[in-house]
Each structure stands twice: as C-alpha cells, then as structure tokens.
C-alpha cells in the first residue's frame, strides 16, 4: 500500500515537471529566432537590410514582435502552451 502511494506521488510530480518543461521549451523556442535576428543585426557589417533607412530599426523590432505573437498563437492553437 505504501509502494502504491509512493508511485502515485511520483507520477504526480513527474506530470507537474513535464508541464513545466513544456512551458520552458515553448519560451526557448520563441526566444531562439529573436536572439538570432538581434545577433545578426548587432554585428558591425556595412551591408544589412534596412541598416541605411530611417525606420530600419523599428521595422526589425516590428518583425520580431510579429514573430513572437505568431509563435504564441501557433502554440496556443495546438494547445502546447
């Protein structure tokens, strides 16, 4: 009886840990492309798309925010988050 209670408890802990890992995986998946884009635009190259335009910075911020919300919507639709 004690063994069954312990197994039930461990299953509950494992299920909770799986949910936490799923949320952390979603957060990491959202942050990865944003980090790559900001890393590329943080370099000191002369030829970057939008680097010479007045609104290039804001366009890249807008694209990054759009990507973040699109991925959140995708994950919500799939019920992953």
Whether 79 shows a pLDDT value over 90: the answer reads no
Domain containing residue 57: 2-77
Please give the tally of structural domains in the chain: 1
Predicted pLDDT of residue 40: 83
Output the pLDDT for position 1.
80
Report the sign of the C-alpha dihedral through residues 53, 63, 65, 25, in that order: negative
Average pLDDT of the residues of the chain: 86
What integer pLDDT is reported at residue 66 of this predicted model?
Answer: 94
In the structure, what pLDDT confidence band is assigned to residue 55 with cuts at 50, 70 and 90?
Answer: confident
Supply the pLDDT for residue 39.
86
Identify the CATH number of the domain in which residue 42 sits: 1.20.58.340
pLDDT in tens, 27-38: 999 999 989 888
Alpha-carbon distances, residue 77 vs 12, 18, 22 (angstroms): 26, 19, 15
34-67: b (≥16 Cβ within 10 Å) or e: eeeeeeebeeeeeeeeeeeeeeeeeebeeebeee
């Amino acid at each position: 009886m004690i063994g069954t209670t312990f197994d039930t408890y461990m299953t509950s802990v494992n299920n909770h840990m799986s949910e936490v890992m799923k949320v952390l995986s979603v957060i990491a998946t959202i942050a990865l492309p944003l980090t790559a884009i900001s890393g590329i635009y943080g370099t000191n190259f002369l030829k970057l798309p939008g680097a010479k335009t007045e609104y290039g910075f804001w366009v890249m911020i807008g694209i990054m925010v759009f990507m973040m919300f699109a991925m959140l919507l995708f994950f919500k639709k799939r019920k992953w988050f």
